[in-house]
Structures are given as C-alpha cells and as structure tokens.
Structure 1
Amino acid sequence: MITVPSPKKPSSPCTKVCILDAASGLCEGCGRSRDEIALWGSMSEPQRLAVMAVLGERLSRAFPNGGARTA
C-alpha cells in the first residue's frame, strides 16, 4: 500500500480569541490585521513566519493592558 503524506497544516498564531479591535484594526487574540487574516491561507510559509515574528511586539504596543488576551 502506498501512503501519501497529508499536507502540512500552515503555521498559525490563532488563539481562538477572534476579536477585531475597532481602533487598531488588529485581532486582540493573535495580533494580525484583517487583511493578514484574510490572506493567511494564500501566504507562503516564509511569509507567515515573518508576520508571526512581529506579532508579540505588535500586540504589546496595541494592547499595553493585555486586551482580550488576559480575559
């Protein structure tokens, strides 16, 4: 029997806390913009990794008190 490996699931920073902040336009759970979320599936893995590399700092600047992440 030939076994075909299943496609690798794309990396994702999603925390299942999908709340788009009206002021910043960022998701309070992961820090991505609406456009980044919409394009995520069509991005290459290097593009996704580049976005994920800046999300921690982006969340800290946008939500200094933690936003929904601390709820």
Structure 2
Amino acid sequence: MNPLERPVASPCVNICALDDDDICTGCQRTVDEITRWSRMDNTERRVVLGLCHERALASGLVWMMPAKSDA
C-alpha cells in the first residue's frame, strides 16, 4: 500500500447481526470479510465494498437511482 494513501474505511454501521447466510445485516460483509478487514490492503477492501453494494442491491436494501433525464 502506498504509505501516503489513507486506508479505505470500514463499512461497519454498528448494526451487527448475521442473517441466515452469515452476512451482516448492517454492512453486508461476510464473517470472513469482517475478520480479515484489518489485514486487507486497500485494493482488497475496495473489492469487498463492491461485493457489499451488490449484496445490498440484491437484498433490496439499496435502490439504484434512475438516470437523470434531460427533459
């Protein structure tokens, strides 16, 4: 990691509860992702954040904003 680059922040929102698939209902990380977070570099963290976003979309927790029309 570039020593001048700040660490990618954890997506933790202090709502720590696992669903039936062992995914945190607050941050959408798996147990493995949560436990490894402090040892991940920024590239790995960004991948996990992308997975979290995909999981949130799939579960209906996040809605994609429609594209802005020019009308």
TM-score, with structure 2 as normaliser: 0.67
Equivalent pairs counted in the alignment come to: 57
- Give the CA RMSD over aligned residues: 1.9
Over the matched positions of the two proteins, sequence identity in percent amounts to 34
Paired residue for 1:13, among 11, 14, 17? Answer: 11
| CA deviation map 1:28-65 (0-9, x unaligned) | 0000000100000001111001110221221232x33x
Deviation at 1:16, TM superposition (A): 0.8
Q: Which residue of 2 aligns with 1:44?
A: 41
Contact 1:18/1:29, CA 8 A, preserved across alignment: yes
Q: Which has the higher helix share?
A: 1
Give distance in 1, aligned partners of 2:7 and 2:14. Answer: 16
Runs of 4+ in 1 over 2 A off after TM superposition: none
Query: Using CA pairs below 8 Å that are at least 6 residues apart, which structure has the higher relative contact order?
Result: 1
Once the two structures are superposed, the pairs formed by residues 1-71 of structure 1 within 5 Å of their partners are 8=6, 10-21=8-19, 23-61=20-58, 63-64=59-60, 66=61
Provide closer, same or farther for how the CA distance between residues 9 and 46 of structure 1 changes in structure 2, counting only shifts above 3 A: closer
